[in-house]
Amino acid sequence: MKAAVLREVGKPLQIEDVQINKPGPHEVLIRTAAAGVCHSDLHFVNGTYPYPLPAVLGHESSGVVEQIGSEVRTVAVGDHVITCLSAFCGHCEHCLTGHMSRCPGTETQRGPDDEPRLANAADPMYQFLNLSSFAEQMLIHEHACTKIRKDMPMDVAALIGCSVTTGVGAITNTAKVQPGETVAVIGCGGVGLAAINGASIAGAGRIIAVDMQGSKLNLAKEFGATDVVDASQGDPVAQVMELTGGGVHHALEAIGLKPTTEQAFKMLARGGTATVIGMIPLGTNIELHGADFLAEKKIQGSLMGSNRFPVDMPRYVDFYMSGKLKLDNMISQRIKLADVNSAFEELERGELARSVIMFD
C-alpha cells in the first residue's frame, strides 16, 4: 500500500510502498477513506514532540472494515468506522471509572516479539498513535475505532476522529459547560472551531472567539461564536474583560502556546476554569499569578476531549446529520496523499482550518 512516511524530523514526508500485516485476534484491517491533516501531526514532523522513526503519520480518519480478527466483536466487515488515537483496553482503572481516554493502551499494541503491523521490506515501521492513517489501509486494535451510520459522508466523518472529539469533548466532558455560561475559545483552527460549535450545542450564553486572523474569526461566527476578538489589535485579555464586564466562566486554549495558556487563565471570572486543549511544547513552563487562586480560578488539561469515543462519536455523527455540527465549513480543501507536505506548509502558516486527504 502507499503511505506517507516520516523518516527524519524536519524533513518532508515520503510516499512509499509499505507492507501491512494481517489482523490478529483483536485487530481490524480498514480501507482508509479519508484522513485529516491535523496540527498534532505537525508537532511530530517538527520535532516539538519526539516519536520513534520511521513512522507512518496520520491519526484523524474514517474508513471501511475489510477484515477482522477471530475475537473481534465490536465491528464487522463492511462497517463504516471512525478511528480514535486513544485506544483503550477496557479493564484498567481508567476504563472502569469512565475515563477511557486516559487508558495507557499498552495492551492494544503489538508486543516487541510480535510481527510489526507495518514494515518496509524487512524493516519494521512505527505505527503512529495506534493508527497511522496517512496510508491506504490501517491495521488497528478493535478498541481504536467505532462503527457509524453509513449515510454519514466519510470526509466529514474523519474530522470526528480527532478535532471534533477533542474540541466538542473539551466543552461537554472536560469543562462541562452549562447552559447560559460564558465561554472564550483561543485559537480558531479545527479544534477551536469544534469547541465553539460544542459550546453552542451546550447552550452557552456567550461564546467569544479569539484569533489573530480575520478569516478564522469570520468562520468562527458560522460555528456559533457570538463575539470575536482580534488578538492582533490589542491585548485579548483586556478585550474579553471589556466585553464581559469581568471575565468568562470558561476559557479554552486551542493552540498550545505559553502566552495563550496564560491569557486563558487571566481572562477568567472569579470561580472560572481554564481548559488547555493545545499541545504545549515539552519543557515549557506556564506562569500563573497565585492571587488568582484565591478567587477560586482553576486550570486543567483535556486529553482528546476526555472522550468515551464509542459513545461520543456516533452522537457527533447524529449532531452533524441533524445540522447541529457545522463540519462542512471546517474542510478547507480535499487533497491527495501526494499533497500531504503542501498541506503541512499551509497548516504551519495558519491559513486553513482543515485539509482532508481523500483515498479513492
Q: Are 252 and 275 in contact (CB under 8 A)?
A: yes
| Contact in structure between 208 and 182 (CB atoms under 8 Å) | yes
Q: What is the mean pLDDT of residues 338-357?
A: 86
Mean pLDDT score across all residues of the chain: 95
- List 26, 39, 40, 84, catalytic entry: 40
Mean pLDDT of 209-220: 94
Active-site residue, from 26, 39, 59, 249: 59
Q: CA-to-CA distance for 251 and 287, rounded, in angstroms?
A: 16
Over the stretch 272-321, which tens digit does the pLDDT of each residue have? 999 999 999 999 999 998 888 999 999 999 999 999 999 999 999 999 99
CATH number, span 2-161+306-358: 3.90.180.10
How crowded is residue 75: how many other Cβ atoms within 10 Å of its Cβ?
17
**What residue type is assigned to position 256 of the chain?**
G
268, three cell numbers = 477568567
43, 80, 249, 250: the catalytic one is 43
Q: Is 188 a catalytic residue?
A: no
Is 163 catalytic? The answer is no
Among candidate residues 26, 38, 302, 332, the one labeled active-site is: 38
At the topology level of CATH, where does 176-301 sit? Rossmann fold (3.40.50)
Is 162 an active-site residue? yes
**pLDDT at residue 351, as a whole number:** 63
Q: What are the sequence ranges of the domains in the chain?
A: 2-161+306-358, 176-301
pLDDT over 90 (residue 55):
yes
List 51's β-bridge partners, or say none.
Answer: none
The number of angstroms, rounded, from the C-alpha of 19 to the middle of its chain's C-alpha atoms is 27
Asked about 249 being catalytic, the answer comes back as no
Could you tell me the three cell numbers for 100?
Answer: 477511557
Residue 262: phi and psi, rounded to 5, are -65, -35
Of the pLDDT bands very low, low, confident and very high (cuts 50, 70, 90), residue 124 is: confident
What pLDDT was estimated at residue 347?
84
Indicate which residue of 62, 162, 306, 332 is catalytic. Answer: 162
* pLDDT one-digit tens code per residue, 75-90: 999 999 999 999 999 9
Grid cell for residue 335 = 487533497
Cis peptide leading into residue 281 (ω within 30°): no
Q: Is a pLDDT exceeding 80 seen at residue 121? A: no
pLDDT (tens digit per residue) in 95-105: 999 999 999 98
| Residue 148 CB-half CA count within 13 A | 31
Cα–Cα distance for residue pair 246/223, rounded to 1 Å? 25
The pLDDT of residue 194 is above 90: yes
pTM comes to 0.95
Phi, psi for residue 43 in degrees, rounded to 5: -60, -35
